[in-house]
Chains A and B, each alone.
Chain A
Amino acid sequence: MVKPGQYLGQALLFGLFFLPLVYLTSQPVYLRQDPQLATIKVAVRHAGAVVGECVAAGGEAYDKLPVNMRRPEICPRERSPLRLQLRLDEQTLFSVTEPASGLHSDGVSSVYRRFTVPTGRYQLSMLMNDDVAVEGFNWQLEQEIELLPAQVMVVSFKGGFRIQ
C-alpha cells in the first residue's frame, strides 16, 4: 500500500529528475562568438588547369589499336592544385595549397575556411593560382570591405571571385 507521504516523495523525485533536465535542454546560454566579431567564410570549388600538354598519338602501339580506339592526341588528366591566399590589410589570414581530388588528381579542388575578425574597414585581397605553369597568382580580388558585428561575409569563386 502506497502512503500519501510516498506520493509526495515520488512527486519530489520526478521534480528532481525533470526540472534540471528541462533547464538543461536550453540553458545556460552558450556564448559561441563575441557579438562584436564578424565572420568571413571562404568557399572555393574549382578545377585547376590540366597539367602538361596533349601529345600527338602515333607509333607501333598506336597502329595496333582498333580503328575506333585511335585518337589523334593523348592528353594528361592531372590537374593543377589550387594555391589560395586571403589577406586583410597586411595580415595573411590563410594561405593553402589544395590538391585536386580523385585518385588521379583529376577532380576539383575544394576549400572552405571560416574566420572571425574584429568589425571594421579592411582592404581584402583574395588571391588564387589554379595553374602550376603560371607564376604568381592568376586570379585575384582586391576590395575595401566594412564588416559589421556578427556579419557573415562569404568569398566564393565562379569564373572569378565574388563577395556576398
Chain B
Amino acid sequence: MAPEHRGQAVKSALKHAFNWLESQFSRLFTAQCNPLYQLGAMSFFYYWIVAITGVYLFIFFETSISGAYASVEQITHEQWYFGGVMRSFHRYASAAMGICVTLHLLREFAMDRYSGVRWFSWVSGIPLLWLLFASAIGGYWLVWDVQAQYIAITTAEWFDVLPIMVDPMASNFLNEASLSDRFFSLLVFLHIGIPLALLLGMFIHIKRISNVRTNPARGLAAGTLLAMLVISLWRPALSQAPANLDVAVTEVGLDWIFLNPYPLIDDWGPGTVWLLLVGLSTLLTILPWLPSRRPQQTPIAVVDPANCNGCGWCLADCPYEAVTLKVHDFKPGRQQSVVDPDLCISCGICAGACPSSSPFRHVDELITGISIPSLHIKELLPLTESKLRELQGTGRVMVYGCDHGSDFANTESESVACISMPCTALVPPAFIDYVLRKDLADGVMISGCCEGDCHYRLGNTWMNQRFNEERMPILRTRVPRKLVRTRWLGVQGQAQLDREILEFQHYLRHDTDAQAQAISHG
C-alpha cells in the first residue's frame, strides 16, 4: 500500500474509534460534558490545576541539593491531608494533561481538522508538546530522588551529543562531590520558565479561532476534581529513594507518560532519539501540506457590498475570525464586511447569519451580503423550492444537514427532501419560516455534526441559539416549534436520524396539534 493510502487507512480507523467512543461517552456524560469533545479545554483545565498546586508546592520547596528531597518529603508526609494532596494533584494533573493533549492531537488528525486554515493551530501545537514534556521532566528532576538522578544523567548525556556544549552537561552529575546548588537554582528557574512559555504558547495556539472553549463544562470539571481527590488520597504521589550519585541507578520507577523516550536513549543512543523526535516533530509540522485524499477546501466567502449593511452578524458568528468590518465602498457612513482569505474556511456560517439572506425579500435573485460560492444562498433557495415541489403526500419533511454529519444517499424519499452543505448553520432561519409559511413542507428537520462537536466548531451552537432566539438572526417566534426539529447526531447517528425522520413524519401526519399549528402558520 502506498504511504498516502496507509495514512488514510490509519486516519479512517482512528476516526471510527473516536466516533464510537464519543457516542458511548455522550450517553454517560451527556454531549455537553463529553470530555472527548473538549480535549483542548480539558488540557487548559489540567494546566491550571498544575499551575495552582505548583505555586503551593513552591512555597515549601527548598532550592538546594540537600533540602530539595527532604522538603518534598515533608510536604508529602507531614501535610499529607493538604500538601500531599496538592502534590498528587500536581503530578496526576500533569499526566492527565499529557494524555489529553495526545488524544486532542490524534482527534484533530482523525477528524481532518489540521489542514487549510487550521494549519496555524496544528503547527503551533507541536512546540507545546515539547514544552509540556520539558515542564514535566523538569518537575520530576526537582524531587531529587532516584528517578531524578536517572533523569539528570540521561538528559545531560542526551544534550551532550549536540555540538552546542563546550563542557559536557553530564560532568555536573559525576558524583555527590561534584554536585552544585547552582545547577539546582537553574532547574527551579527552568521549571517555572518552561511552563510559563507553555502557557504563552497555548494562547498563541488558540489566537486565530474565535469563541474558544478554554474551560470544560462545569459538571465535567467537578467530576474530574472529585476523581482526582479520591485518587490522590488513595494513591498519593510519592518520591522514590533519595538520589545518590555515588551509586548507579539500577532499578527505577518511571513515569512512562513523560519519560518514555528515556529508555530509548539508553537502548538506541542519544543521537538516534534526537533524530527520531526531531524527525517526528518535523513530519507532524509538514503534515497539513502533505498529499492526502482529504476533501479540498471550496472557494472562500465573498461579500456583496450592495447587500451588506455592516451589521456585523457574520463577524460575530465566524469561527475563525475571518470577517472584519471596513468603511463601506459606497454607502456613506456605513461599514461593510471584509473576508480574510487566509482565515476563511468556507463553512458558510456567515451566510446563515446575514440578515439579507431572507427568502421573503422581494428580489429577482436572492443575492446576499455574504455567501460562499460553492452553495450561494441564491442557489439554496431554488434548490430548496425545486426539491420540495417534487414531494408528495402528507408529512413532507425538508431535511437540512451537513457534509460532516449523516449521509443522505438513502434518506430521501417521495415525502422527504434533503440538502447537505458544508455546515448546517449556512441555512438562514428565515428559510425555515419560508418553507413552512409557503406550505412547501409540513416540517423541517435540522441535522448535522454531533451535539457539542461541530466540524466548524460553532455551527450547531449558533443554530441552537438562533432557534432559541438568543442569537441574531433568530428563528421568528411565529414559526411553530413543533414543526421544526433539530437532531445533532453526526455521522454515527445515521440510522437514528432515519428513524427520527420517520417518527417526525408520523407525528406530522397524526398529531392534531401539529396540523393545527401548520394551518395557522400557513
Q: List residues of chain A with CB under 8 Å of any chain B CB.
A: 2, 6, 9-11, 13-15, 17-19, 21-22, 24-35, 37-39, 41, 43, 45, 101, 107-108, 110-112, 114, 116, 150-152, 154, 156, 164
Contacts and interface: CB of A to CB of B under 8 A. Distances in A.
A29 B237 contact: no
Contact of A112 (B150, B160, B227, B257): B160
Contacts of B178: 43, 154
A156 B168 CA distance: 13
Given A25-B92, A112-B171, A31 B250 contact: yes
A110 B266 contact: no
B231 to A, nearest CB: 5
A126 to B, nearest CB: 15
Interface stretch (B8-16, B241-249, B444-452): B241-249
Given A21-B96, A34-B250, A112 B223 contact: no
B150 A32 contact: yes
B416 to A, nearest CB: 31
A135 to B, nearest CB: 28
Nearest to A27: B253
B247 A152 contact: yes
Contact of B30 (A2, A11, A35): A2
A14 B157 contact: no
Interface of B: 25, 27-30, 91-92, 95-96, 99, 150, 153, 157, 160, 166-168, 170-171, 174-175, 177-178, 223-224, 227-228, 231, 235, 237-238, 240, 245-257, 263, 266
B227 A30 contact: no
A108 B168 CA distance: 12
B28 A18 contact: no
B177 A32 contact: no
Given A14-B224, A39-B248, A164-B177, A110 B253 contact: no
Contact of B95 (A9, A15, A25): A25
Contacts of B171: 43, 45, 110, 112
Nearest to B165: A110
A160 to B, nearest CB: 17
Contact of B174 (A6, A17, A110, A154): A154
A35 B251 contact: yes
5 contacts: A9-B27, A22-B235, A41-B174, A101-B166, A108-B166
A10 B27 CA distance: 10
A104 to B, nearest CB: 14
Given A10-B223, A29-B252, A152 B175 contact: yes
Contacts of A151: 246-248
Contacts of B237: 25
Contact of B167 (A19, A22, A110): A110
B30 A14 contact: no
Contacts of B266: 32
Contacts of B228: 18
Contact of B251 (A6, A17, A26, A30): A30
